[in-house]
Amino acid sequence: MSFTNLKKKWKAIKSTRVTTIFASLAVIQFLVLESLQLKILVQHISLAEYVVPNLQLSRANSTCYLNDMLTPLSLPYSENAIFLIFHAFQLSFIIDSIIYRNTICILVATILNFMIGIFAIFQAQDSNALITGLQQTCTKLDPTYLYSSFTGIEVPHLAMAFVFTAFVAALTYFFYKMFGLIEYATNLSEDALNSAYRTRMIFKALLKVNLLFIFSYCFLSLGAIFPLIRNSATVTKYLFLTHFLMLIFSFIFASIAFFALVEELKSGMLSFMIFWGLLVIDLFYLLVAHGSSAAAIGWIFWILFTVIFLIVTIATFIFAILAFKNFGKGLKKYVNHLSLQEYESSLFLQKAKVIDSENHHDMRTWRSEE
């Protein structure tokens, strides 16, 4: 990336108060939530270092058996990895959406922010369930030390996640008010092409979110599914290997989909849709085969994450079909997103500054009413 492009992107971020505040909030959110999640990770490491030496290698005359406790102890690390990935993705996703004035992606980012808060609830619940289980199974462990990890870190992370969600939702309103129509009106004139362009943008946003879930699910599968395959009749090591390979190959087929979308390559999009259909089946089977055992041991985080992952995958598959149906209708000659040069045009800046002043007036009105 050249220095000139960086200057253009920086200029796009600073062009209005809303974009400047939004970008600043994204950075602050990343720093705060990432640091809190890193503290949770350190606490989980300390918890494992405290618990593991007290576990017994043999089941005989012991209720604190090593193999019984390693599986519950592995899940928190997967959850930590998922949150660290999510927070980094949100920063990149929001900044990129601000630069390219992509209202659809901003709306998706707002939904993701809310989902992070929901996931944080179940992370706290899983941690509490783990600590309760450790106390009941290994009575010689100090309960005061065990519960200090939950009350000290998980709750602040949960609270801050929802605080930032509220701020992001408020700024999304102003962003939509400013750029909701400009995103399409300055680029395409025909309603049919606008609709096709909007479908393409939604598909691209869903595909990016899908890749986020796929990358995160690789860690979750290693922490939540792999340790259980020895005692599972429905999820064997061969089925797990097939599932994990499908996650890895998803990145390849997603790249094919991005290329096929730009070039309107039907064979590429068809291959993507076939593979994505298989991925939907894989996730559905995994949820059915492993869902009951996960619920029995209180792994609500895994169940919720898998359900949302499945929904996003199905939505991506549906919009892939819709985008495929728009191939050959004249959209290829237009760019997939508004260029930075269009953001710097006098017409765009004139519109943006007018709306920005109105938003600034609205913000002052809200403060006066409060």
Q: 238-273: per-residue pLDDT in tens? A: 777 888 899 999 999 999 999 999 888 999 999 999
pLDDT of the residue at 178: 79
**Contact at 8 Å (CB) between 231 and 184?**
no
pLDDT-wise least confident of 114-123, 146-155, 331-340: 331-340
Place of tokens 């999640």: 37
Q: 64-113: per-residue pLDDT in tens? A: 665 556 666 777 888 888 999 999 999 999 998 888 888 888 888 999 99
pLDDT of the residue at 299: 75
The pTM for the full model equals 0.80
Q: 190-209: per-residue pLDDT in tens? A: 667 778 888 888 899 999 99
How confident is the model over 60-66, as a mean pLDDT?
59
pLDDT of the residue at 49: 79
**Amino acid letter, residue 146:** L
> 208-239: buried (b, 16+ CB within 10 Å) or exposed (e) per residue?
bbbbbbbbbbbbbbbbbbbbbbeeeeebeeeb
